Every structure is written in C-alpha cells, then in structure tokens.
Structure 1
Amino acid sequence: MGKIILEKTGLSPLGVVIRLVLVVIAAEVFIHLGMNVVLESVPGSKASDSLWAVVAVMALILIKVPALYLLVFLPLQDQQTALAQHNNDQQRALVLLRQEDALRLERARQELENREHMIQIERLSALGTMVGGVAHEINNPLMGVMNYVEHARDKATDASSKEVLNKALHEIDRIKKIVSNMLIFVRPDAGQQERCDLPPTVNKTVDLLQSELTKNAVQVRIDLPPDLPPIQCSAGSLQQVLVNLLLNARDAMAGQTQQRITISARLEGGQVILFVCDNGPGIPEEIREKIFDPFFTTKPVGKGTGLGLSVSRHLMQEVGGSISTDNLPESGCCFRLTFNPK
C-alpha cells in the first residue's frame, strides 16, 4: 500500500482576498478612465450626477461579475471539486488499507490453523502406522494361541472341557476378525485398480465398530441385495469411507432416545448405489455446502479434525465414484455413495 500524498490545490484564503481587492480596484480604475475618456472626447457634454452614478454602477457590475467569476468563484469551485475527489480517494485508500489488514489477519489465522491441522494429520498418520504394526504383531501369536486351543479341544475327553474350549475359540476368532479388519483399514492400496464385494466389506466394517456402536446404543440395520455386482473400489477405501460415515452418524445422534443407522444398496442406471442413513437431526442448510471442505467441523475442539468427509470424497473420486448427502423428509440424514461395477 503506497503512501497517501496530499497536494495543495486551489486558492488560499489570503489569495481569495487579494483577488477580490484587485478586481475592485481594477473595476474602479476602468470606470473612472472610461468616464474621463467620454467627457474629453465629447466637448461640452454634460450629465447629471445621478446619471453618472447609474452608469458607474452598471459598469461596475458588468466588470466585476465576470471578473469575480473567472478569477475567484471558478477557481474556488474547481478547488472544491478537487478537494472532494481527493477526499474520496482517501476514503477508498482507507477502505483498501483496512481490507488488506483484515486479509493479512485472516491469512495469518488460516496459516496457524493449517499448521495445527497438519500436526494433527501427522499424529493420525503415525497412529495408523503404529496400529498396522501392532495388528501384524498380534496376528502371529494369535494364530499360535488358536492352534493350541484347537489341539486342547481335540484332545479333551469330557463335554464340559470341549464346550469351554469352543467358547475360547469363538472369542479368539472374534479377535482374529478385528485384527483382520484393522489390517484392511490401514493397508495402503491402489483403490481404483481393485475391486471388492459390497456385502462382506460392509459387514466387516460394522463388526469392527460393533462395540463402539453398542456402547452408544446405536442400532445398525443392513439391507443389501445378494446379487449386487462387485464394485470398482478397494475394500480398504470402502471401509475407510464407511467408518467415517458411521462415526459421524453416531455423533450426530448423540443424546437421542432411539438411534438408528440403515445401510442399503441398489442397482441404478448401471451403477451401484450405497445409502448410509440415520435418524439424527440432519444437516443445517447453511453448512450443507461446507461439510466436504477440508478441516470443516461442527464438533468441539479436540473432538474432530474436519477431515473425515473430505477424505471420503477424495477416496470416492479416486475410484471414479461420488458422494452426496440429503436430509430425509421425516428426520435424519442420508449419504449416497455411487460406485461403478467392476
């Protein structure tokens, strides 16, 4: 922003007074000279004093008015116009300066938020790497435990021991499924080049979050046709999108007496459409266009990064699909995921 330069334009008060005096003096001189010229050029001319007074006044008016307009009033008018323009320029410069200050403050605030979010992303990335490593480390001894329990069951002779060992195997199998789902979730993949079957991936995702959903009294209903074709999407990408949507739905319904999530699908126009719907309060119209923006969140500080839906949209675009949302007529929100069949 350059410096505002103030220029002195037009007349000063002293200049106005001097011009007025000069105009009056010049007018009086011209009138007297003119009267003398008339009297000398016409021998014996006589006129009454009143006549000469009228002539003097008329001549004074005819001389002073144009002279005052040209020498005083016109420059003053130009000066006022220039001053008004100068004031307008100053006001515009001041407004621009304030806008630039506000823009700098907003940019600094955004940079600070971005740094904080990048730190959070790095933490989440490190956590994902650690979870993948832990899952791999758990998987190997878990298979050993399962083999030992199966061996003990096969060698057991009484029914009660076999029943106990079967229950132990059932719980070990549950742990195995959880570890398997965690590995699918954290494993990097080339989403667009892979395919997956929708029903088993949805069921595995719900199983992975079952304890979290049950703890919050969330009921999940899955209604998927058995004849759905495989979709062009990796299991890991689909699972990540579903986890984001299910956890968002859980948070949106918090505090309600009945909390329900429905997952359904159908073929439509040669594409597979997956719906994830809840009976929460829905999405306010004023933020509907912002929910997929990176770092946008309505959750309190520390409760969310604002990246879940943004990442979900990015994953859907990578596999050639799309994600959109709409409020249900009665209540709640419904996310629509569109996939290409593989």
Structure 2
Amino acid sequence: MPNLAPPGVCMLLEPDLAWLHLLSDIGTGLAYFSIPAALVVFALRRRDLAYPWIFGLFALFIIACGATHFAHAWAMFYPNPLLEGLIKAFCAAVSIATAITLWPLLPRLLALPSPAALAREVEERRLAERRALDSEARTAAFIANLAEALFVLRVDQGGTRFVTETVNPAYERLFGLPASQVVGKDAQTGFIPGVTERVLPNWQRAVATGEVQRYEVEAETPHGHRLWQTVLVPMRNAAGEVDRLLGSARDVTETRRLQAGIVESARLATIGTMCAGLAHETSQPLNAAALWLRHARNAATGLMTEQGARLMAALNVIDSQLRRAGDLVSRIRGLATETGEAETFDAARVARAAVRIADGQYAPDDIALSFTAPSGPLPVTGSPARLEEAVLHLLSNARDAVLEARATDPAAPARIGVALREQGGRVVIEVRDSGPGVPDALRQSIFDPFFTTKDPGHGSGLGLSLAAAVARGMGGGIAVSNPPEGGACFTMTLVLSEPTAQGLMPLAVAC
C-alpha cells in the first residue's frame, strides 16, 4: 500500500487533533509507568501477600501497555512501523500471558478471606486468647490455693532421672521446702533426705506401666513427723510416651491419728465393759467369802489353844487378801464407770491436795517432792475426787520409778515434780520423776488395764489406766515421754473451762 500516507500526516493537517492524540498518549503512558511502581512498592512492603508474584506480572503488563502509547506518540513525528509493531507484539504477548495466568488463579483468589472476614477472625482469636488467659488465671489461682500439694516431674533418661518442673504453695507448706530449692532440680536429690529412695520405685512404675500410682509415705519434716498420701498420674506426649508425672499429696497425719484414736477408744470401751462384768461377777464370791470368814473368826475366837492361834493368824491373812481383792474390784469398777456429777473446779487446788497427801506418805523414802502452778485458778470440769485419785496414781508410779533407780544406784537422785500450766485452751499437768524412764516399746501399752512391769504382788496394773480413764472422761488425754535430762514425764491434758458463778480461789505457787 505505497499510496497511503504515513501515520500522523493526516493529523498534522489539523493541529488540534494532533495535540489531542499526542497529549493523550503521553499522559496515558506516564500513568501506565507510575502504576507498576506503586504495585512494586506495595508488594515489597506487604510481605504477607498470598501471591506476590502476580503484582510483578501486572506491573510488566501495564508497562507494556504504556510503551505502546509512547510508541504511538513517537510515530506521529518519526514514523517507524517496525518498532511500533514490535512494541505492540510484546504488549500482546504479556497481555496473553497475564490472562492465561489470571483465569486459573481466579478461584483461589476469590477463596482468600475478605478484610471483614479477617477482622472477624482476628476478633474471634482475640476473644479465644482472652478466654484462654482467663482460664489459665483461674486454674493458676485454683492450684495456688489448693490445700493439696501439687507437683510435676519431668521424666529424663528413660525414666531413671526425674526433674521437678513446678510445685504449688501447698507443696512448700507440706514438705517445708521452698520452691526455689526444688524447681528445676533433680527430684532424687532435692527432696526430703531418706524419702526419695522409698518413693522412687513408684515413680518408675508409673513411667513403665502408664498407670496411676497411689502410695503413703511418712517422714520427718521441718514441721515434725508427718504422713502423706500421694496420687501419681502419668502424662503422655504426642508420641504416646510418658514424659511427665503429675502428683498430688495430702497430709493425712491427723486423719490417721483420729482413726487410731477411734480404734483405741473402741478397744478401751471393750475392756471397760469386760472390767465391769468382771467386777460384778467377782464381788459376789468375795462377799460370800468375807461372810464365812467372819463366821470362822467368831468360831476361832473361843479357841485358846496353839492351834486356835495358828488358825486366827491364817484367817487374818485370808482377811487381808480378801480386802486386797475387794480393793482391786473397786478399782476395776472405777475404771469402767464414771461416778458423781461433773462440776467446775480448780485443777491446781486438787493437784496440790494430792501432792500434800503424797508428801506425807513419801517422807520416809526421802523423796524430794515439788509443786508449781500459776497464781490464778485453772478451771476444769469433771470430778475433783477422781482427778485427785488420778494425780495420786501418777505420783505413786513416779515413786516406784524413783525407788527402782535408787535400788540400782543408791546415789541416784530422788525427785518428783508436779507442774501445772495453761496452754492453748488446755490445762497441762506434768508429773516428772528421776527414775530410769519408760522404754519406747512400752509407751503404747503402759496405759492399758492390768499392764505392769512390777513383780507379782507389787502392782495391779490399774493405776495408770485409771489416770488415763479420768483424763479421757474430762475431755483430755495422757501421754508419756523421756525428757533429755532423764527420768520420765507423764503429761495429762484437760479442757480449760470457764469459771463458775461461785468463783475459784487462787492457789499459791508452791507448796
């Protein structure tokens, strides 16, 4: 087509039309070239874009489109059909490639969440995190205030080593170990000495079997001798292996003590019932024997022969033994029953009266007897006569212990001390002696009825059991210990009562 004019020649005949095309192409080209720059900056600053490469493809497509406009403006003054055709071909190739890439990608682009959906997701996640934090705070508060001790052990080296990961405040109170001393430390060395060896098999068994372990351990802690019950729960990881142990420990020292007290009370109640029946059945033949003894003595009174004298002596022996048996029956009956109405009285006054009685009886034995008590009254509720009898039994037991020590060592001190005090809403009566003390093996049975370490004929085994019965009847108890300075100390505790309307007279500090 040689007769056609070059592009732009016609428009040059009309200047306004030429300027319109020129300025439009230049403006469009500049706009096309600026848009890719914005897209590239946006893509570089937003690293979270799902398909960042698509921005580069669109930038190349827009640049190609802008290049065709610049080529058209150039051709208005310097016609070059080949260059303009090449630029348009490049633009067509980029446009086709962009279209081919965009359409298959469109479903995935449409699947991307919208800003509103993202905002909802962010809000839901924020609420979920708040709920998780609230739940964690509640759980932490629950664990921190739980009465049971909780601890977590991490299993290392195939179950041969355990590391304490965390403990709660109750753990510190129960075992007397601060968290800083055990957390992050080897559990075998950071626990109470001597206890780890006993609980380690339970830990290893929980790891090996994956089963819950329950066991009880007792040991000396900074709070004294304690007994605690432990439950150990294995915790598995994603691979199904036991990698941690969650343990809870409960102090059952007081529970076991109360259970033992109930068993002991039932045992003593059974013994009391037996004693009551024994006293009732024994008193009848004793009364019959005493009656016939009186008849025999009346008959022997008229015999003035030597045989009569020997018969009277034998009858006197029988009479003394019957009286001894009768006294024993009375004491057994007193062990099984309570007599008299309860009243409020001054325990110090009663104990002082008992000391005065004993002081006169023990004077020939050269035993130093001391008594101390507060200046004010110590009111208790019960039977004054029975409390005085209980103190006399304790004093008699102390006298026998002192004389036993003196028989072994004539130079041994002979001291008995009675002291009263108020302690924690209780009246404490202590009777100390300088004897040989009470062996540990006998402390559990020394208050049992008929238990005695004395030779036959020198003790019925009822004195201490009667004292224990009086203490229990007044809501208290009795115990024995060996003080470091030697001897034995019998401690009777009674419930402190409120003074009655009549009042209680104060007592001197010493007798």
- Specify which structure has the bigger relative contact order, considering alpha-carbon pairs within 8 angstroms and separated by 6 or more residues: 1
Q: Same fold (TM over 0.5)?
A: no
The structure that is strand-richer by fraction is: 2
The structure that is helix-richer by fraction is: 1
